[in-house]
Structure 1
C-alpha cells in the first residue's frame, strides 16, 4: 500500500545566540505567523494528518501544537526522540518504518534541518542530500513502506508560496 509522508520543518525560532540552550529555543512572532499560514494552506488543500509526530525540541513542538490548534480535526502531536537534531539517519528511518507500519493515512513529521533533508534524500534513494528544506515549508513524499524501491517526491512548498 502506497503511503504519503509529509515533512514540516519547524517555523522560525529564537536566534541561537540568544537562547542559553538550543533545545529550548521558542518560536518568535514570525514563526507563529508562518505556522498559521501553513495550517491555512493545509485547510484550503484539505491536507490532514492521520498521525502527527514531532521532535521534542521546543520549536518543533510549538510548531506542531499550533498547527493542530489552527487546523480542525488534526490529531494531537506525538513526540518521538528519533526526530531530534543529529539523530543518525538510519535510526530515523527505523523509527519512520515502525510508524508507517501502524499508520493508516498520511504520516506527518515536524523536525529540523539538516535531518529532514537527509531523511528525505535517503527515502528518495540518495545517500547524499539532494533537497534542502526551508523553515515552515512542507514536503510530500509517496512510498511503498514494504518495498526497497525509493520513494517519490510529490511536491515541496516553502511557506512564502502558501499565501
Structure 2
C-alpha cells in the first residue's frame, strides 16, 4: 500500500493496463485529440502520458488548471485563448469531483450531483465559444467497463 500523500500516489499496475486498453479503444473508435491537458498530480500525469504514448494526441501539457484546486473560470479563459489558434479536440485529464461538477456547470448551469465520472471514465462535451455555462452539450459519458466491453458503442 502507498504510504505517501494522495497527490503523489501512482497508478497501480492494473490502472496502467486499464488505461492502455482504454487509450487503444479510443483509437479504435476514432477518438483523437489535438492536445491532452493534464493535472500535474502523479496519477493524472501518468494517465495522460499513456494516452500520449498510445497516440490519442500528439501533444501533452501539464497544467495546474486541472489540479484539484483548479478553477473552471480560469480553465475556460485558457480554453478561449487556446481556441484562437486551434480547432481540434482537447482531452482533459483531471480529478473528481471537479470534472463532474464542471460538466454539470457547463451543461446545466449548476452542479446538481447527477453526473458521476468513474476512474478512467470518459465524458464528451461540446463547449460553445461564447457563454459556455449552462449552454454546453454533453454528447458522451461512459465508464471504463462499458467502453472496454464494446457494448452499445460503434
Q: TM-score, normalised by structure 2?
A: 0.85
Q: CA deviation at 1:147?
A: 4.0
- What's the secondary structure of 1:109's corresponding residue? strand
Unaligned runs of 5+ in 2: 149-154
More strand as a share of residues: 1
Equivalent positions of 1:23-62 (< 5 A) are 23-62=7-46
- What's the secondary structure of 2:108's corresponding residue? coil
Equivalent positions of 1:7-156 (< 5 A) are 18-71=2-55, 74-128=57-111, 129-148=113-132, 150-156=135-141
Per the alignment, do residues 131 and 98 of structure 1 end up closer, same or farther by CA in structure 2, a change over 3 Å counting? farther
Tell me, yes or no, if the aligned pair for 1:138 and 1:158 is still in contact at 8 Å.
yes
Tell me, yes or no, if the aligned pair for 1:37 and 1:159 is still in contact at 8 Å.
no
Q: How many pairs were matched up?
A: 146
Q: CA deviation at 1:143?
A: 2.5
The reply on whether 1:161 has 2:130 as its aligned counterpart is no
Q: TM-score, normalised by structure 1?
A: 0.80
